[in-house]
Amino acid sequence: MIDIIKKSMLQSNRARLAPQPLEAQARFWWKMKWKGLALAPGVAVGRAFVAQSRSAPTANQRVSDPSEVDLEQRRFDQACAISLTELQDLADRTEKQLGAESGAIFRAHALLLQDPLLLSKVKSLIVEKSIRAESAVQSTREEFAQMFSRIQDPVLQERMADVNDVFNRLLGHLGEEQVAPPEGDDPLILVSQEILPSMAGRWLEKGRFSAILTESGGSTGHGAILARSLGIPAITGLRGLLKHVHTGTALVVDAREGLVVADPGPEALAAYRKMAREYASIFGRLVENRAKKSVTADGRTIELLANVNNAADARMATANGACGVGLYRTEYLFLTHPTVPDEEEQVGVYREVIEAAPGRRAVLRTLDLGGDKQVPWLGTQHEANPFMGFRSIRMVRKHPEFFRTQVRAILRAGIHGQIQILFPMVSHLEELRQLRREVRRCMVDLARRGIPHVDSVPLGILVEVPSAAFMIRQLLPEVDFVSIGTNDLIQYFMAADRDNPKVAHLCEPFNPAVFRLLHHVAKACASAGKPVTLCGEMAGRPRCLLPLLGMGITRLSMTPAVMPTVREAVSRTRLETCGEILRKVKRFRTFSGARRYLTKATLEVLPDLEIIDT
């Protein structure tokens, strides 16, 4: 470690900046260190801000003065009133889009919130024990849980989930004084159990943090995707971090090697600050190439498209020189919305993204909810394996009007640019044909009502289920284009949850079997004359670039933050060598052998690889 830090002080910014395993004689440089999985490269120095999930209040949080009992009762009444208004609005919206059955879930929640037994129980506890409203609600929740646990009927036992939803909503409104990051310019490092979509809107997109550290998550999970989109260093799989790191703890983050250091000494701080400046200098030079076209050394144009969640991402894509939006994840509107966005609201949001997209070109993926992307108004899903369960496009049969509302909104917003519609999670031909019929039905509906919309739109599938990859030749006649979603495709192909740290390593893209599967899809698309885009996190990994180009894949969609790196790698690459690199990778028998070979091949065209890639 000491040798590496000394070299970082002396060598140029092409030096490999990754610290080696801790030497015994270097222990005085810091108090504690952790090694995790690097998600997004970079080096950062700052103080921790710990954002843990709100813990359940204890039952003995007493008021400091008996006169505050009335105040606590009023706080409880106010939380009930706000929750009731929310639930009634949610029930109306859900019933309109998903049907009476789904809306009834929230009407039942509203009835529970008006139950005299529940209300009197909470208020009695506040008065009799002189405790805060949160504690009274939590105590009542625990009493309900014990009551439900004695019920033998499994159907009634499952209703405890609805009761918990009501209590969580109350506690949320009673606890809205949640600590926010301090204002100022001092660099902060976000420390959390995991990255949630709500954090993006509240904190992350405001540029307050210089790095992200989590205990759970995988290299292609949604936390990783969010971190890369922000262009800041990120590490996951840091077990025990939250036990020892508190808000204000001084931290060093080396996301090249997945290393985190707590309370570093002055020598280590100086060395890592220098490393951070060198990384920023290299990346800054790469960003300057955003005006350059993405062209290989032998003159072949490679389209670099952007994966985005919102209009801010689309504007960042334009700033980084993207030639369009290759994947707009429309579900993030729904994940961060307090209720169900109606058609007019969706039209407005989609239009904003389309108008912000480079060249107003955008591929809009229909809702990909379920798995780890749950919304309360679809009802509580109890599934043994939600990632392979009732999710994404599979919800269309049960909630057709919900899907039609989104499709109509997309068709209406589409008049403001050049759009394509992408269907996720398609696994067989009958599914695809049903989706095409639904789009035609929406077009007829809009035309009948005289509402402006695009009357012709290219339709494509996101190949992320192995059955679709193997049946690609049968699906191609029914689509106008294909996108390959390597994040989910690899996790399903490898039977490994990409957000589970124990098996997430299996979802790394360097398995020779993965390259063989992708090449099978690419060859089929080329034979059918259908354009193909690779839009998983793999598209932004420089080590994967050469074999992908060797497959003939010349459209890559990635997070805007990594585009400068990929553009630089493209400009130094000759396509004539990529085919041979692909053939060699496919012949490897091991994951590690393929990765070592690709690292060596990529270093020849991108010497700074070890600094700017994980």
Q: How many CB atoms are located within 10 Å of the residue 247 CB?
A: 15
Residues near 66 by beta carbon (within 8 Å), at least 6 away in sequence: 130
Count of structural domains within the chain = 2
Is 308 within the bounds of a domain? no
What the block records as the tokens of 410 is 């997309």
Is 226 within the bounds of a domain? yes
Mean pLDDT of 351-363: 96
Residue 34 or residue 16, greater confidence? 34
- Spatial contact of 556 and 317, defined as CB atoms under 8 Å apart: no
Tens of pLDDT, residue by residue over 365-378, are 998 766 555 555 55
Residue 549 or residue 614, greater confidence? 549
The whole-chain average pLDDT of the chain stands at 81
Mean pLDDT of 321-343: 84
Q: What share of the chain is helix, strand, coil (3-state, %, to 5)?
A: 55, 15, 30
The per-residue DSSP string of 536-582 comes to SGGGG-HHHHHHHHHTT--EEEE-GGGHHHHHHHHHT--HHHHHHHH
Given a cut of 70, whether residue 613 has pLDDT beyond it is no
- Spatial contact of 105 and 44, defined as CB atoms under 8 Å apart: no
Is 388 within the bounds of a domain? no
pLDDT confidence of residue 5: 30
Q: How far is CA 324 from CA 288, 292, 294, 361, in A?
A: 19, 15, 13, 5
Tens of pLDDT, residue by residue over 172-229, are 788 644 456 666 677 899 898 777 544 554 556 556 788 889 887 666 555 566 666 6
525 is catalytic: no
Identified catalytic residue from 222, 399, 453, 519:
222
Given a cut of 70, whether residue 158 has pLDDT beyond it is no
pLDDT confidence of residue 477: 97
Shared domain check, 226 and 206: yes
pLDDT confidence of residue 256: 74
pLDDT confidence of residue 24: 33
**Best-predicted range by mean pLDDT (135-144, 331-340, 533-542, 599-608):** 533-542
Residue that is last in its domain, among 129, 144, 174 = 174
Given a cut of 90, whether residue 23 has pLDDT beyond it is no
DSSP assigned state of 379: -
Residue that is last in its domain, among 174, 196, 226 = 174
Task: Provide, rounded to the nearest whole percent, the portion of the chain with pLDDT above 90.
Answer: 35
pLDDT confidence of residue 16: 34
Is 554 within the bounds of a domain? no
Distance CA(485)–CA(186), nearest Å, equals 38
**Best-predicted range by mean pLDDT (209-213, 290-294, 513-517, 540-544):** 513-517
The CATH number that applies at residue 264 is 3.50.30.10
- Spatial contact of 481 and 461, defined as CB atoms under 8 Å apart: no
- Spatial contact of 324 and 535, defined as CB atoms under 8 Å apart: no
Shared domain check, 76 and 159: yes
Q: How far is CA 211 from CA 13, 73, 193, 429, 463, in A?
A: 20, 41, 14, 43, 32
222 is catalytic: yes
Shared domain check, 243 and 274: yes
Residue 75 or residue 481, greater confidence? 481
Identified catalytic residue from 442, 507, 525, 535:
535
Is 264 within the bounds of a domain? yes
Is 96 within the bounds of a domain? yes
pLDDT band at 112 (very low <50, low <70, confident <90, very high): confident
Lowest mean pLDDT among 124-133, 207-216, 424-433, 604-613: 604-613
Shared domain check, 192 and 106: no
Residue 313 or residue 519, greater confidence? 519
3-state secondary structure of 376: helix
Q: How far is CA 51 from CA 9, 87, 202, 247, 589, in A?
A: 34, 27, 12, 9, 43
Given a cut of 60, whether residue 27 has pLDDT beyond it is no
Shared domain check, 166 and 189: no
Range of the domain at 190: 2-53+181-285
